[in-house]
Amino acid sequence: MPGQFEPLPGGGAAVALDDVEISIIRSLAVQLLELIGPGPAEDASDDPLAELFAEGPSEPPSDPVLRRLFPDAYVDPEGAPQAKEAEEQRAHSAEFRRYTENDLRAGKRDNALAVVRTLDALSSASAGEEGAVLKLSPEESQQWLRALNDLRLAIGSRLEIADEDDTDLLYRLPDEDPRKPMVMAYLWLGGLQESLVGTLMP
């Protein structure tokens, strides 16, 4: 089971993780939480109705990682649109973003928090041991799957990975390349994600 998720009887998934792997995943999840930022409820409002109707941002984030995590909803798949079409796309994207980004951020935040909490519980339960077997419920498995995807998108954005051809190049990076640790994390998380997908498929 090392490094690969396996199904649990009755649903869910399990994977054996050593202390270093636990530390890496937890650290990445915490960094993702910091990048996404606090939710509206954490910011100020005590009024649940105000929070419900709160509008999000209308402009795309300036950080390239956040732009990857929260892309524009309306993009011409055929390439560069004409000026009028581009303006319409920006307007539609801004409107869509205004009413959806807060919820999207909350969902990504919840998924990353689930990763941190399950790893913290695992560390507490296995104190004094080197590594442990992480057992996830079906709901936690789905949260982990979404969080692993977000982590790979974030790292892939930092590595400027746009397609599979870029991924192939990563395998040929020399060991002295400063991006190597991030590349190894990216590839390792991809393997974890793929095994979890396989585990959860009916």
Asked whether the CA dihedral 191, 193, 194, 200 is positive or negative, the reply is positive
Contact assessment for residue 174 and residue 115, using Cβ atoms and an 8 Å cutoff: no
Please tell me the predicted confidence (pLDDT) of residue 44: 47
Please tell me the predicted confidence (pLDDT) of residue 33: 96
Please tell me the predicted confidence (pLDDT) of residue 37: 87
Please tell me the predicted confidence (pLDDT) of residue 165: 66
User: Token pair of 36, please?
Assistant: 């996404």
Q: Is the pLDDT of residue 89 over 90?
A: no
* Model pTM score: 0.81
Q: Is the pLDDT of residue 42 over 50?
A: no
Task: List, in sequence order, the alpha helices (H) in the chain.
Answer: 19-36, 40-43, 48-52, 64-69, 83-125, 138-158, 164-170, 180-200
Question: What is the rounded CA–CA span in Å between residue 106 and residue 192?
Answer: 24
User: Token pair of 101, please?
Assistant: 């980004």
Please tell me the predicted confidence (pLDDT) of residue 186: 92
50-64, 139-153, 172-186: segment of lowest average pLDDT: 50-64
Please tell me the predicted confidence (pLDDT) of residue 99: 78
Question: What is the rounded CA–CA span in Å between residue 80 and residue 162?
Answer: 17
Contact assessment for residue 2 and residue 192, using Cβ atoms and an 8 Å cutoff: no
Please tell me the predicted confidence (pLDDT) of residue 172: 81
Please tell me the predicted confidence (pLDDT) of residue 139: 96
Place 27 in a pLDDT band, splitting at 50, 70 and 90: very high
Rounded to an integer, the average pLDDT of 172-184 is 87
Q: Give the tens place of pLDDT for each residue, 100-140.
A: 788 889 999 999 999 999 999 997 776 666 779 999 999 99
Q: What is the mean pLDDT of the chain?
A: 83
The residue that leads in pLDDT, 114 or 48, is 114
